[in-house]
Amino acid sequence: MIYPHAKVFVDTDNKYHFVTVTHKSKSGHKIYDNMGSGLIDFITLDLSEYENTLKKADSSKLAYDDMRNLIFDIAETLRYKHEYIWFFLVGALNNIFAEECNPKTQLSRCFDVLYSIIELHQIFNFGVLLCLDVDNHPEFTTAEKYFSFTKIYEKYSDFLLKTSFTIAPSYKGVLDFAIVEGINKKAMTETREVLKAVQRDNKGVNLVQFTLIETLEEMLYFEFIELLKQGTNVKKCRLCGRYFMLANQHETYFCNRIYSGKRTCRQVGTKRDYNEKVANDAVLQEYQRIYKRYFSRGEMPFEKNRDSRFCGMSFREWSALARGFRRRYVAGEISGEDLLKGILE
């Protein structure tokens, strides 16, 4: 087992635990609700500046020590752009420089590693487009798309990921992180105390399987395969143009990345689309007029009008009712006449 590496566990809540190990006594821990965000964040990175800097460095004539420093400077440009690229990249560079070999060979191999970032970016951009993009060739199955991917990139047809087992608190064969968290919070170290904590009901210490990740390529491939296995699709945001994962089968056009100020693409894009729809729909224009009229009355617009069928209803309650009618109209479930009848006194 080489350093650095990562161990990926799945727990009883179906969350992914990404444990980074840089040394026998040094590790980190990250929990993901959904695997795949690292892959999507990677392929949506703009690497043009990184690539230009790398090509200039590759053609420069510097002394060994200066070139070594420059190589790490290039890697450093990715440090805060992605959660695990820098982790695997710097680990690979350190391992090369730790070997006793010809200095020119070391530098050449380091540049190969730096260039591999660009290559992997291209490969998995294509893989996501071909296999996961919900709008790309929906007539083909995921299996058919993945087969086409492996025909182009043949090494992935038999690409292997290492798995192993560790002794840990478990339930039905997966990590019982609630117990692990409880042990850590109480800072338990005494063996009997720890065993007492895990031996409750039908839970206990058992063998838990994990995936061992030693390279960036393995991590990207692992996330790619997990998305394929889960049937997760991706889509390009209509506002920023970057891929995002679809959480469900409902039609979504915008991602949740920050677009302007504190507002996300989904907030800005949804509002923009609705305003465009209103501008071309007389029924929605009338809905807006009625909504503003009732809003201007105050919090209890129907309190004094006993003839109103909404008598006693607060504006907040009426607003929820009105939005429901609007959603049904926009979805084509009811007519414009039904919408306006449903919200008028």
DSSP string, 62-106: --HHHHHHHHHHHHHTTTTT-SSHHHHHHHHHHHHHHS-S-HHHH
**Distance separating alpha carbons of residues 319 and 291, to the nearest angstrom:** 8
Distances (CA, A) of 77 to 3, 45, 59: 22, 12, 19
Give me the tens of pLDDT residue by residue for the chain, a chain 345 residues long: 688 999 898 877 778 888 888 887 778 888 888 889 999 999 999 999 999 999 999 998 899 999 999 999 999 999 999 989 999 999 999 999 999 889 999 999 999 999 999 999 999 999 999 999 999 999 999 999 999 999 999 999 999 999 988 776 666 666 666 655 554 454 544 545 444 544 554 555 666 788 999 999 999 999 999 999 989 999 999 999 999 998 775 668 899 999 988 899 989 998 887 787 788 889 988 888 888 888 877 655 565 555 567 777 778 888 888 889 988 988 889 999 999 988 886
Q: What is the pLDDT of residue 204?
A: 57
For residue 257, give both structure tokens. Answer: 């990345």
Strand partners, 206: 168
**Distance separating alpha carbons of residues 72 and 94, to the nearest angstrom:** 9
Pairing type for strands 263-264 and 258-260 reads antiparallel
Q: What is the pLDDT of residue 251?
A: 64
Q: What is the pLDDT of residue 327?
A: 87
Distances (CA, A) of 127 to 39, 214, 246: 11, 21, 17
Annotate 146-163 with DSSP letters as a single string. HHHHHHHSGGGGS---EE
**Distance separating alpha carbons of residues 241 and 46, to the nearest angstrom:** 12
Q: What is the pLDDT of residue 183?
A: 45
Q: What is the pLDDT of residue 272?
A: 84
Q: What is the pLDDT of residue 179?
A: 55
Domain ranges of the chain: 1-236, 281-343
Q: What is the pLDDT of residue 78?
A: 94
**Distance separating alpha carbons of residues 114 and 70, to the nearest angstrom:** 12
pTM: 0.77
Q: What is the pLDDT of residue 191?
A: 45
Q: What is the pLDDT of residue 195?
A: 47
Q: What is the pLDDT of residue 29?
A: 83
For 302, the 3-state DSSP assignment is coil
- Phi, psi angles (nearest 5°) of residue 91: -60, -45
Element (H, E) at 210: strand 204-213
**Distance separating alpha carbons of residues 95 and 76, to the nearest angstrom:** 16
**Distance separating alpha carbons of residues 116 and 149, to the nearest angstrom:** 19
39 burial (CB, 10 Å; 0-12 / 13-18 / 19+) is: buried
- Residue 18's contacts (CB-CB under 8 Å, 6 or more residues apart) are 6, 8, 29, 30, 31, 32, 84
